Amino acid sequence: MPKKTTPSIYDLLVAESKRLGWPTIFRTDLTMHDRQMLRQRDPLQGGEFVWVVREHGTHLYFIEAAPKQQAADWFLWMMRYHQKHERCHWYIGDIARRTLTPTTAEEAIQRYRAAQSPAQTTAPIWQPDWAGLLASRGAAA
């Protein structure tokens, strides 16, 4: 009898993506970016992550203290943007346990915020400076 293998956490993401039929475009979000992010993690070290599946791509955010305030603000801003502006499916993944659990946007954001330092959770949410970015690249704002 063949030995039964436990699917990797990435296998679970792929299976859920196929079940949903999403993403329909920007599939490399899953097949390249999410896969690479998970490969860089030590499975024995574990860790949890928020995974957002949209019709037009995926986002993966590790539930841990961000290395910089701006990164934490950016991730929270992105999660809130998807919560308000797009139909999404939200999950909490656990690398060590190899589980992928459906959740709500509110729960995912709360779990991510709880992992940040107190200074990060009380800071105002960063908003991108699109005009400044365009001006720095020589484009008209």
Contact 100, 91 (CB under 8 A): yes
Single-letter amino acid code for the residue at 25:
I
pLDDT in tens, 14-50: 999 999 999 999 999 999 999 999 999 888 888 999 9
What pLDDT score does 123 carry? 47
Query: How many Cα atoms within 13 Å fall on the side-chain side of residue 24?
Result: 2
Single-letter amino acid code for the residue at 103:
T
Backbone angles phi, psi at 43, to 5 degrees: -60, -30
* Nearest residue to 63 (alpha-carbon basis) of 92, 101, 105: 92
Higher pLDDT, 75 or 139: 75
